[in-house]
A and B are shown apart, each in its own frame.
Chain A
Amino acid sequence: MAIEDQEIVQDFLLESNENLSRVEQEILALEQRPDDPQILGSIFRSFHTVKGTCGFLGFGKLESITHHAENLLAALRDGKKKFNPGLASLILETLDIVMQELSSIGATGAESDAERSALMLKLQAALSGETPAAAPAAPVATAPKQEEHNDEAASAGAALSDPTIRIDIRLIDRLINLVGELVLVRNQMLQSSSGDGGQDKTTAHRLNQITTELQESVMRSRMQPIGTIWNKIPRLVRDTAKLLNKDIRLVTDGANTEMDRTILEAVKDPLTHILRNSCDHGLETPDIRIASGKPSQGTVILKAYHEGGQVVVEIQDDGRGIDPEKLRSKAVEKGIITAAAAAAMSDREAIHLIFHAGFSTAEKVTNISGRGVGMDVVRKNIQSIGGVVDVESHVGTGTKVKIRIPLTLAIIPGLVVGCGQQTFVIPQVNLIELIRLQGEKLSQLDSRHEGRVLRWRDQLIPVLHLGETLGMETSGAGDVLNLAILEAEGAAFGLILDRIRATREIVVKPLGKQLKSMRWYAGATILGDGSVALILDVAGLARLENLKGRAHEAANEAAAESVGTLQQFLVVKTGSYQRVAVALGQVDRLEKIESSRIERLADSWAVQYRGTLLRLVSLSRVLGAGGDECMEQPQLPVIVIRNGDRVIGLVVDRILDVQEGELHAATPTSAPGLLATFVLHGRATELLDIPTVLAAADPVWTSNERFRKPSGLPVLVGVESRYDGAALMQGLELGGFPVDICEVAGDLERRFSEKRYRAVVLAAKLGALAEPLRRQAASASVPVFAAEGACCEGGWLAGEFRMDDTEGLRRLIGALANQEARCNT
């Protein structure tokens, strides 16, 4: 027998012994209350469990005995038979024999040779209606055998003596509490004994060591490998696969990863749910998989490991992935978010919509999953144990759900921080990084207004001030700001803190029921000096801030009834519009650009920005609310909008604020470039229609509905000087053509001969160069387009365009595309 099998058998014996010893008590209790369905149910289950495992382990005789017993018990439980003392004896007799068989298995690894058919006949007879003979019959029949087995049972008992005992979890909790207390006393003692040396110090040191060791041991007593809850997963996957006619391979890794028992229990259901999702929605049927070029067998990988004082559990499948577009449209359809909010969402945010209550994208409900209660509950359960769930998915390649949970509920790593006079603890699991803003870096934080935002890792994130959020008196803003970047529910935000102290392993104590409704606290802990610190619940804190915004608005808009989705808006002043809002999700970045860096182009402005040329447009001109006055400021406030690979900068007069609000009370407007007027923070605000503004600002944007990534042969653009071809170049690139740029007078001829080009576009006068170029182009059969007037004798050109006319540029791109189409056919 393999070692693993032996372990399974040992577990089986231990479990069965425990269950069956309870059965004895239960049968006796049943004699007092013959019709108690709970006791009958419990006895039935005990036999049923033994039967199931026997079948699995191949103990046929035992399986058969328990099967007959189970039938009889089922009849009793369902009221088809009446319980009587004779039956009680029969069940007890069966119990004894089962115990004997178990002992035999424990001692020899196999069932005994004893003949048990008599018992089975009796059980069958009892079931079919014949009341068994009076009680004495049973013990007599088995008495000699029992004698025989006594020795065996004793030795089997030794074999069964497992070095484990069962302990009430509450006792361990109490031990942990006491150890926590001991740690406090130790700390106090260490402090008081630090002054004088000698014996005291040695004793204190010893106490220190023992306490630390004791604490670790007690904590370990609650730990169990995650494998204990994984046992049933292979079966689950197998059954699901069968049911769905799929071929699924399960790979598990890290079953020995240990974590707190309470957490194990809490993680079991979410894990099962996610796995079912992976098998049901994630993985495709074999024929679809083969059609999309994947192996017909789908793979689900279940992985657990320790990382940074936490346990990470990953469930990964190589299925169809989650389509963010589908989620967006579904969410809008179900009224969970507005269309504008959906459009503003990044793909990552859209994928996180699956955590929304009542959300399921499965087209049909199966009996495995797809009922719309699911991922929200999964997330809630994980959060309730201080964990975080994250989803990563790519259409076509699969989905990975990553759960990060603390090792234990009782002790978690946390960051101890100070705010005002008080100390708080932030669970490490929510912490992404700590930032110290000082000097000029303070400008990264736009904190002139109520709604702060921070530029962090190329995104704008909201920033809260812990003291203000909690309504505390805090020390005024200094020239140094401590910020913790935290993650909650898939979104990052910054939290301003007065002081950052240290990371500590803290003992989590729940708050009393009086304070449970304050979800921004996860509990409290006792610090080394005996003082109490509240543990922050990061998700709750983020929601608290939303709610504040909501409460604020509710006061202003008493009339508003429906509750939409809260969104964050960037509010700006541009031209005659005092307040124009842009959904923050549509904003790539906010920039302040020195006027000296601005370059004037034929029909607009541009700035060199992160290695590319950023086109700048005056928003007030686009909206017909003014001219280009905003371009004359010494520093230009710019909203950078990204659409695919392309970026554009909208120049405004002033960036006012980031405010949170809902669109529900919006009324449509007919003003160009605006979508609607709505109330934001008690003031009428115009909502910018980004697509229309982009179209108006730069016609090239709309000439191709979807911008193509520049690909294929490049276009050679000849310009007068390096600096004046920017708009042309961007236009061509937007059209999907890679561009090489060169000076006509300098190196056009050389560049043209070096490489193969799709076409040549000339934005500068050719003069005497026209003739050599014509010949060169004719021999290479490359079309040449030129700006009007660039070439005197233009008959040989493939086309002409006007430089200062975007419409002309558009036609040029169209002509190039046609050219390409012709080449391809």
Chain B
Amino acid sequence: MQYVTFQVGDLICGADVNCVQEVLRHQNLTPVPLALPVTPGLIHLRGQILTAIDLGSVFELDRSGEPSQKDCVIVHQGEEAASLLVDRIGEVLDVADCDVQTPPSHWNGALRGYLRGVVDHSNRLLLLLDAPKLLAVQGGPDTGFDEVKDL
């Protein structure tokens, strides 16, 4: 399987190429007031408006030293698409399925829930991300609005 790799903080992450629509350099971000830091804004991509998902925030990483301008990895699942904000885009790597391992059991924290597996890649750990789970990130604050039944 092929993975698009990118750097988030000190982490090297990879996303299945089949989920990745395209990668882009820095894009203008329109902030969404009151949204949580995981979804800091919206990106305009050829007539589509995409939610930007900031991986640094999703993984609750230390935010110091991250670039002010981030790159975008556009991921999609079916009709839904969103843009992952990453520090830097890397290369596309071939990873054999048999090399994929389950994440170490002592890993907890925010990151764990978004991992499909890890790969030892030239002495660095490549984290394989679960794109559908990332797309399901919730960026609205908890408001407790009552839902009304549909007709």
Contacts and interface: CB of A to CB of B under 8 A. Distances in A.
Given A377-B150, A422-B33, A531-B28, A517 B138 contact: yes
A526 B44 contact: yes
Interface stretch (B45-53, B100-108, B121-129): B45-53
Contacts, number: 105
B95 interface: no
Given A511-B51, A530-B44, A547 B144 contact: yes
Nearest to A177: B47
B11 interface: no
19 contacts: A269-B151, A378-B151, A471-B34, A509-B48, A512-B50, A513-B80, A513-B135, A514-B38, A514-B51, A514-B82, A514-B135, A514-B137, A515-B32, A515-B39, A518-B139, A519-B143, A524-B42, A524-B49, A534-B42
A519 B49 CA distance: 17
Interface string B6-50: 000000000000000000000010111111001100111011111
Contacts of B42: 511, 524, 532, 534
A522 to B, nearest CB: 13
A380 to B, nearest CB: 4
B151 A515 contact: no
A752 interface: no
B138 A514 contact: yes
A337 to B, nearest CB: 15
A549 interface: no
Interface of chain B: mostly helix, strand, loop or mixed: loop
A422 B31 CA distance: 8
Interface string B110-139: 000000000000000000000000011111
B67 interface: no
B39 to A, nearest CB: 5
Given A381-B150, A422-B31, A511-B51, 11 more contacts: A357-B146, A471-B33, A514-B136, A514-B139, A515-B139, A517-B139, A518-B32, A518-B141, A531-B30, A531-B44, A532-B49
Contact of A373 (B82, B143, B149): B149
A528 interface: no
Interface in A401-426: 422
B32 A534 contact: yes
Given A512-B80, A547-B143, A526 B49 contact: yes
Interface of B: 28, 30-35, 38-39, 42-44, 46-51, 53, 80-82, 135-141, 143-146, 148-151
A377 B145 contact: no
Given A177-B47, A181-B46, A513-B80, A377 B149 contact: yes
Nearest to B140: A517
B53 A544 contact: no
A649 B39 CA distance: 52
Contacts of A533: 30
A584 to B, nearest CB: 23
A646 to B, nearest CB: 39
A757 interface: no
A695 interface: no
Nearest to A466: B33
A518 B53 contact: no
B98 to A, nearest CB: 34
B135 A516 contact: no
A360 to B, nearest CB: 14
A534 B28 CA distance: 15
A406 to B, nearest CB: 19
A514 B44 CA distance: 16
A230 B51 CA distance: 39
A512 B74 CA distance: 13
A472 interface: yes
A554 to B, nearest CB: 10
Given A178-B47, A269-B151, A514 B53 contact: yes
A468 to B, nearest CB: 10
Contacts of B31: 422
A678 interface: no
A388 to B, nearest CB: 16
A74 B151 CA distance: 29
Contacts of B81: 512
The residue among A514, A521, A530 with the most chain B CB atoms within 10 A of its own CB is: A514
B147 to A, nearest CB: 9
Contacts of A380: 148, 150
A376 B148 contact: yes
A718 interface: no
B29 to A, nearest CB: 9
A273 B39 CA distance: 39
Contacts of A135: none
Given A514-B39, A517-B138, A180 B149 contact: no
A509 B49 CA distance: 7
Contacts of A543: 145
Contacts of B44: 526, 530-532
Given A512-B82, A524-B42, A532-B44, A381 B151 contact: yes
A357 B47 contact: no
Nearest to B38: A514
Interface string A624-638: 000000000000000
A543 B46 CA distance: 33
B30 A532 contact: yes
Contacts of A273: 151
A471 B34 CA distance: 6
A376 B81 CA distance: 33
Interface in A78-101: none
Contact of A516 (B30, B49, B140): B140
The residue among A177, A373, A471, A509 with the most chain B CB atoms within 10 A of its own CB is: A509
A714 interface: no
Contacts of B135: 513-514
A525 B137 CA distance: 22
Nearest to B146: A357
Given A377-B150, A514-B82, A534-B30, A519 B47 contact: no
A525 B46 CA distance: 12
